[in-house]
Structure 1
Amino acid sequence: MGIGDKTRNIGKIVEGKAKEMAGKATGHESLERKGKAEKIKGKVKHAVERGKDTFRH
């Protein structure tokens, strides 16, 4: 996994967590759901990249 992919995926996780927390704080359910979805998407992409890395080495 390249450093760019790794930071991009971690960035998505952090961004999703921030949106989720902002949604909870303001009572904005839609923002909270979007944040959760983005966080999960980042985690899945990160796991896929780690799996690719495992098979390459």
Structure 2
Amino acid sequence: MGIGDKIENAAQDIAGKAKEAVGEHRGDENLAAEGRNDQTKADLKQAGEKVKDAFK
């Protein structure tokens, strides 16, 4: 996994956590769900990168 990919995945995860927190604070379930979705995407990308690295 390249350093750029790690940074991008971490940024997406952090942004997702922020969206989730703001959504929960405002009572906006759609925004909170979007934040959780962003976190899941970042986790899946990270897992995919680890699998690619394992086959190198």
TM-score over 0.5 (shorter chain) = yes
Matches within 5 A, 1:1-57: 1-56=1-56
Gaps spanning 5+ residues in structure 2: where? none
The CA distance in 2 between the partners of 1:48 and 1:11, in whole Å, is 17
Aligned-residue offset at 1:24: 0.5
RMSD: 0.7
How far residue 54 of structure 1 moved from its aligned partner, in angstroms, is 1.2
Aligned pair count reads 56
1:30: Cα distance to partner? 0.9
Which residue type is aligned with residue 30 of structure 1?
N
Structure 1 residue 10 displacement after superposition: 1.1
- Identity in percent: 43
Divergent runs of 4+, >3 A: none
Structure 1: where are the runs of 5+ without partners?
none
